[in-house]
């Protein structure tokens, strides 16, 4: 290369000049080479950048195509996976059930994720809470069905009795379930059989063959009791009248429907024990606060007392059509309830010869027919706003009545005399004369208007009205007897005068 550059035929003066020339040539060549390389790099850099962008774009396009392909494969896979194909691959019954459950919930056979599990738990809790509120009876029925399936029925009954006894501990009641507690789906109730209820403090000793109840969470939440409807069949036992009166119950407690059938209860007092047989009793509403009013306004009862006297309580039927005028006449009483007693034995019910009831201690024996039309206020709103009174139309018919002179005067519940002895003696004479002549006492009819806020006893008011009517009947009887005797005396005198006159003419 140096040979080309150095001119031929030219001499150099020294070696130093030659080397200087050589270094200059080398520098020039390196500069030229650098310039060439720079030019080449300036041309290659845009090309490399362009190629890199093209490669990156190609990679992204390929990735997109890959995602689309995977999505397409996934769609194709989902289209191919069906419930039938999954069920055909299952090898056991639990696996098939799980596939059916998952397919129903998420339309897939993959495992549940956290969101789905939390949604299922929330749905189960809310649905059970709603079920307890709206279908309390059904919920408790299924609960007892499950308990009876897992445990022995005797254990379930015993445990239920302990829970009830703990709940009723303030009232001193003891409840024992001797048979099964099972749901009755046909009637939508909970059925209990062979129940015993006992309380020495409250004077209760009852046994029930069958008890059907429906429950209400809404009523229980509003402090109106858990039971909604109650049906009792085959109740028997004893109730102490004076102890039951002292029993304090929740005044807000309510029942929407009460039925009692084929039951017999002995009502015990200090000196007597009266047997009440209830054939059929139906109450559409029963509130503890308005117990008597609800019984008179919504009740229907028929039965017998001591197996000899039939009684009924029902809505009175009108002889004429129930037109608007009659309905207006009944205002503010929306219903007239009729109480009827047939051939009631006065001695067996303790109305006579009793240490507690001395209102009619002069009656020795007899029977009574009673018809009472009772007009109570329709409800507590009517009682507070429109009518504070109960009106009772009473008709009494004494049969086979026998009287005697008492040791002491008749007394009311406050131990005060009701009638004087001078007034009582004519009544006793009247009654015994009719019995000797095989005649019955005339019917006694009167009306009682009872203020519900008054503290006086309605039995004392009834006794007073009976004595007033008795005195009226005796006065009428004595007046008629005087007229009869006067007529008889007049006839006798007239006959004697006629005989004397005929004898004088002869």
Instruction: Encode burial over 153-175: b for 16+ CB neighbours within 10 A, e otherwise.
Output: beebbeebbeebeeeeeeeebeb
Quote the pLDDT of residue 2. Answer: 39
Quote the pLDDT of residue 62. Answer: 44
What is the value of pTM for the model shown? Answer: 0.68
Helix axis angle for 93-106 and 114-134, nearest 10°, is: 90
Q: Is the separation of the CB atoms in 387 and 333 below 8 Å?
A: yes
Quote the pLDDT of residue 1. Answer: 41
DSSP 157-170: HHHHHHHHHHHTGG
| DSSP element (H, E) containing 428 | helix 421-436
Contacts of 98 (CB under 8 A, 6+ apart): none
Geometric angle at alpha carbon 52, from 51 and 57, rounded to 5°: 100
Nearest to 225 by CA among 250, 245, 246, 204: 250
Lookup result for tokens 């809404």: 218
Query: d(Cα 276, Cα 262) in Å, to the nearest integer?
Result: 11
First to last CA, the chain: 218
Query: d(Cα 63, Cα 71) in Å, to the nearest integer?
Result: 12
Nearest to 428 by CA among 347, 362, 358, 346: 362
Give the three-class secondary structure for 404.
Answer: coil
pLDDT along the chain (506 residues), means of 10: 43 52 60 52 49 52 45 46 73 80 74 77 70 66 79 82 81 85 81 90 91 85 85 94 81 89 90 89 88 85 91 79 49 79 83 72 91 80 60 92 89 88 92 88 91 79 92 90 83 77 70
């Amino acid at each position: 290369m140096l040979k080309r550059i150095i001119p031929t035929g030219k001499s150099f003066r020294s070696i130093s000049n030659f080397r200087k020339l050589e270094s200059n040539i080398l520098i020039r060549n390196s500069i030229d080479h650098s310039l060439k390389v720079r030019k080449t790099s300036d041309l290659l850099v845009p090309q490399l950048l362009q190629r890199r962008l093209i490669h990156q774009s190609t990679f992204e396009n390929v990735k997109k195509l890959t995602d689309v392909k995977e999505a397409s494969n996934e769609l194709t896979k989902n289209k191919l996976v069906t419930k039938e194909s999954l069920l055909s691959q299952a090898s056991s019954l639990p696996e098939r059930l799980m596939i059916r459950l998952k397919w129903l919930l998420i339309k897939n056979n993959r495992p549940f994720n956290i969101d789905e599990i939390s949604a299922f738990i929330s749905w189960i809790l809310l649905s059970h809470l709603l079920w307890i509120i709206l279908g309390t009876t059904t919920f408790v029925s299924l609960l007892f069905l499950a308990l009876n399936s897992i445990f022995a029925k005797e254990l379930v009954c015993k445990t239920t009795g302990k829970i009830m006894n703990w709940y009723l501990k303030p009232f001193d009641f003891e409840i024992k379930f001797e048979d099964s507690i099972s749901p009755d789906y046909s009637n939508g109730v909970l059925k209990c059989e062979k129940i015993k209820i006992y309380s020495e403090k409250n004077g209760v000793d009852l046994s029930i063959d069958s008890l059907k109840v429906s429950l209400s969470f809404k009523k229980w939440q509003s402090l109106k009791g858990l039971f909604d409807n109650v049906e009792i069949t085959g109740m028997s036992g004893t109730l102490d009248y004076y102890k039951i009166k002292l029993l304090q119950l929740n005044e807000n407690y309510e029942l929407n429907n009460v039925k009692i059938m084929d039951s017999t209860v002995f009502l015990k007092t200090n000196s007597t024990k009266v047997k009440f047989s209830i054939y059929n009793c139906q109450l559409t509403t029963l509130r503890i606060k308005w117990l008597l009013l609800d019984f008179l306004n919504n009740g229907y009862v028929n039965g017998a007392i001591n197996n000899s006297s039939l009684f009924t309580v029902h809505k009175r039927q009108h002889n004429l059509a129930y037109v608007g005028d009659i309905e207006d006449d009944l205002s503010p009483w929306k219903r007239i309830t009729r109480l009827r007693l047939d051939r009631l034995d006065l001695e067996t019910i303790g109305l006579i010869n009793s240490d507690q009831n001395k209102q009619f201690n002069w009656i020795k024996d007899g029977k009574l027919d009673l018809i009472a039309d009772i007009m109570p206020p329709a409800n507590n709103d009517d009682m507070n706003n429109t009518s504070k009174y109960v009106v009772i139309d009473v008709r009494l018919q004494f049969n086979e009545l026998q009287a005697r002179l008492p040791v002491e005067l008749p007394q009311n519940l406050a131990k005060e005399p009701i009638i004087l002895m001078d007034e009582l003696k004519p009544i006793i004479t009247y009654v015994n004369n009719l019995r000797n002549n095989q005649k019955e006492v005339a019917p006694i009819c009167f009306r009682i208007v009872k203020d519900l806020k008054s503290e006086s006893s309605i039995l004392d008011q009834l006794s007073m009205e009976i004595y007033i009517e008795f005195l009226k009947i005796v006065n009428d009887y004595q007046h008629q007897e005087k007229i009869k005797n006067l007529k008889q005396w007049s006839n006798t005198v007239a006959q004697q005068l006629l005989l004397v006159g005929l004898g004088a003419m002869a």
